[in-house]
A and B are shown apart, each in its own frame.
Chain A
Amino acid sequence: DQQVKQNSPSLSVQEGRISILNCDYTNSMFDYFLWYKKYPAEGPTFLISISSIKDKNEDGRFTVFLNKSAKHLSLHIVPSQPGDSAVYFCAASASTDTDKLIFGTGTRLQVFP
């Protein structure tokens, strides 16, 4: 059972426009959410996170939105740049076991000129 789902395996966006990556979760115990970015032949790297006490967290061009009632979060990248082309993983953890991250299947983002 996939507790964290990324239903779009790929997304293609023009440079300068907004990229929106979506993530859904099923476990109501999750209260901390993260996005990781992965380039080919490299390990994932942390991008941005959000606690369940917030509904938005912003870091430069990256903003994560959390809708707890819908068990949905999204990552917005504005403006998108070619260097943002990568696989993005959504992850979640519960305060009962904060060390354990549950990852989604990833969304491959391609930003074209």
Chain B
Amino acid sequence: DAGVIQSPRHEVTEMGQEVTLRCKPISGHNSLFWYRQTMMRGLELLIYFNNNVPIDDSGMPEDRFSAKMPNASFSTLKIQPSEPRDSAVYFCASSFYRGGETQYFGPGTRLLVL
């Protein structure tokens, strides 16, 4: 039974480049979350979707960040242009929305922007 799948696992890029992170949620889950982990702020919720519709994007840091969920089995988080302060671990999580359900996390993408 596959869990949440994220790709790539590691990404090194230069400042100004576009970065695209990908996520495949657990089959049957209808809520998907993007988080960013940093030492200073811990796990920050960036955006979440319910039934492929963005519900809350208040955590998206700025216009350089965008997220899409074109279907129930795929989501992307894009950073354009990337900056060194975007370096962090980005996690995708999914759950079956019934209120308060456990979120299942992917292994994360470690992003380094030089």
Contacts and interface: CB of A to CB of B under 8 A. Distances in A.
Interface of A: 2, 6, 32, 34, 36, 41-46, 49, 89, 91, 93, 95, 97-106
B7 to A, nearest CB: 14
Interface of B: 4, 31, 33, 35, 39-45, 48, 50, 55-56, 91, 93, 95, 97, 99-100, 102-108
B54 to A, nearest CB: 12
A99 B43 CA distance: 15
Chain B contact surface mostly: strand
A98 B91 contact: no
B1 to A, nearest CB: 15
A43 B45 contact: no
B55 A99 contact: yes
A103 B4 contact: no
B105 A105 contact: no
List 4 tightest A-B contacts by C-beta distance, closest first: A43-B105, A105-B42, A103-B43, A98-B99
